[in-house]
Structure 1
């Protein structure tokens, strides 16, 4: 519906109908039949022109992102899909670069499901907090390896934000109990170092925090070295909301060798800095233009994106991003008719995202 082919096609139809009418067709013997035919032709011409104007306006203002969205305009939620299938995108084999551990050190809080660490990344040099949520019965005594959800908070937020406002632990336990998802390890890293800045998870110039490296390399390697986790990309997904949603899109699209999937709750597709932090000045490097990346070099990544049409921060960039999606990238979108940019809304959609995860990434399928 947002393809440039549609307005061009409608324009050609309008020109063809106009030429036919200008040439005096159709030639009918009956005067009234001829008048009726020409009146019908004029009606068709006007309808085609109005349709073309509507398509162009929709392309500019993003009223509807697809035919499915238009057909479900009255529905509370419209589900759309573009690109490859999610399972095929997540199943592409890429070298992950993660090295699995074999001798795991004792946990700082034995017997507890929530473990807290302070870690310095070997590659990024970033020192940050990492919280790990373990599944019930987690053990390193067997050969079992767990899939991983790397969950990124928003701004402001902490490593425990997914456990409080997003209610992740309860949703995850329910999904496992209903056999829609395998038991999983969740890693919740600090994404703003220090907490007061809005890092947008990027690698800034020398001397600024290398947050992309921290989140895409150091945090995954910490998990792989210290916990019984599967290192294949089909067993790793990065998830985030608000600022963390931009981060999850960026990390998934730029590091598909680590992440087979990305879950995005109300995110943008270029970094939007505020609170005084401007690592690149007025010009963001092209590498962080995810729409450009998806248009020219789409990676094999399974994405689930939630956006609300009332969310002025997330919906316009999401609509623009969807226009360029093509295989091997896969994007499933849950478009909400109402709702804004808030934690309560996202928490209610977490079970839907987990069901998609269990169906789409082989490592999470029960």
Structure 2
């Protein structure tokens, strides 16, 4: 059973309850003072606490999508890393392959013409030799005859690190929110490509083209758009049809891609983003001593030293509870100073670096992004 399986969570909860009840029931029988009885008390306490903590951890992972599998949790996931030979992918259906479908959790969701559809896919990058799983949300209009000749804008949606793509559906409810907003006329029908920025797990590349390593920025700004255009009909060919949004690490990546590649993404949204790539045990050496690459990955430095990008940005934060709030205010001020890049903000009075906060921000962020994209 998988780490995110409901059966695993239920089993952990049942074990925790049984051990708790058993501890209370048998505790009087373990009141004597000898090493065997004391060992029994220690064992019961340890087992009870372990199962309770495990159940809470599994529930938190189900809610926030930290890890996708047991191997991901244990740092052993590496099977979806760089692909050496991409020829097989091309011969078996192109750079984007659909592996399965699922319904959107809305009324009438069983019918694609009413609820749209979520497709589980694998995206192969012929330029970067990177392969990664993703989900694609197709709006109801994509399946309606009246829209056969219409182009659809695309929103790339990124999780944080480590994150899971499934959490963008179950936890952050992107497809359901997009469906409801579109139905209410608050945003246009949009294709969403949902994945995590960790495309070479378990390494956190911070969406950098690592010298001699994975070319993650190129994957997201070249391979991914090409793969989506090659598979889905009537996807906009200009940057005006493409936006990108993410939270935390994904928010940093989204802003960076829109700033570095305004010819690819016309709009970028950072939900609780940070503004430069950290260096820690999860990232390894991202720049290999290349100071220019390191500076370009620092968005504050980029605004001061590089030509102002002609793109639109939205950043979100909270006055209380968000530790990047002051950095966000500085970023907004620096963008305003260049008078070319357009900047908007969504600032809450309070809210932490978590799903609950982002759920409050996503509807407004999707509406904002929709308003800056066209179906050209």
Which range, TM-score by smaller chain? 0.5 to 0.7
Residue 310 of structure 2 is aligned with which of 287, 300, 306? 300
1:309 aligns with 319
| TM-aligned CA distance change 1:104 to 1:134, over 3 Å | farther
| TM-aligned CA distance change 1:105 to 1:332, over 3 Å | closer
Equivalent pair of 1:159/1:189 in contact (CA under 8 Å): yes
1:217 aligns with 222
Q: When the two structures are superposed, what TM-score results if normalisation uses the length of structure 1?
A: 0.66
Aligned-partner Cα distance in 2 for 1:363–1:274: 41
Alpha-carbon distance, 1:194 to partner: 3.3
The alignment status of 1:355 with 2:367, answered yes or no, reads yes
Equivalent pair of 1:153/1:244 in contact (CA under 8 Å): yes
Equivalent pair of 2:124/2:227 in contact (CA under 8 Å): no
What are the equivalent positions in structure 2 for 1:1-366 lying under 5 Å apart?
108-109=99-100, 113-139=117-143, 142-206=148-212, 208-228=213-233, 229-278=235-284, 279-280=286-287, 285-296=294-305, 297-325=307-335, 326-363=338-375
2:86 aligns with none
Structure having the higher Rg: 1
Alpha-carbon distance, 1:293 to partner: 2.0
| TM-aligned CA distance change 1:290 to 1:127, over 3 Å | same
| TM-aligned CA distance change 1:329 to 1:113, over 3 Å | same
CA offsets, 1:190-240, max 9 Å, x none? Answer: 42133322221111110x221111111111111111112112211110100
SS in 2 for 1:183: coil
| TM-aligned CA distance change 1:361 to 1:252, over 3 Å | same
Give 4+ residue runs of structure 1 displaced > 6 Å after superposition. 103-106
CA offsets, 1:275-333, max 9 Å, x none? Answer: 43222268662111211222341111111111112345422321221221132100011
CA offsets, 1:141-190, max 9 Å, x none? Answer: 72221100000110121222211211111210111011121111101134
Aligned-partner Cα distance in 2 for 1:126–1:209: 8
| TM-aligned CA distance change 1:106 to 1:323, over 3 Å | closer
Equivalent pair of 2:117/2:137 in contact (CA under 8 Å): yes
Aligned-partner Cα distance in 1 for 2:302–2:355: 28
SS in 2 for 1:160: helix
| TM-aligned CA distance change 1:104 to 1:158, over 3 Å | closer
Gaps of 5+ in 1: 1-102
SS in 2 for 1:150: strand
Query: Aligned-residue CA RMSD in angstroms?
Result: 2.5
| TM-aligned CA distance change 1:130 to 1:358, over 3 Å | closer
How many positions carry a matched residue from both structures?
261
SS in 2 for 1:262: strand
Equivalent pair of 1:198/1:275 in contact (CA under 8 Å): no
| TM-aligned CA distance change 1:138 to 1:215, over 3 Å | same
Equivalent pair of 1:304/1:333 in contact (CA under 8 Å): yes
Equivalent pair of 2:243/2:267 in contact (CA under 8 Å): yes
Higher helix share: 2
Equivalent pair of 1:261/1:302 in contact (CA under 8 Å): yes
Aligned-partner Cα distance in 2 for 1:159–1:355: 21
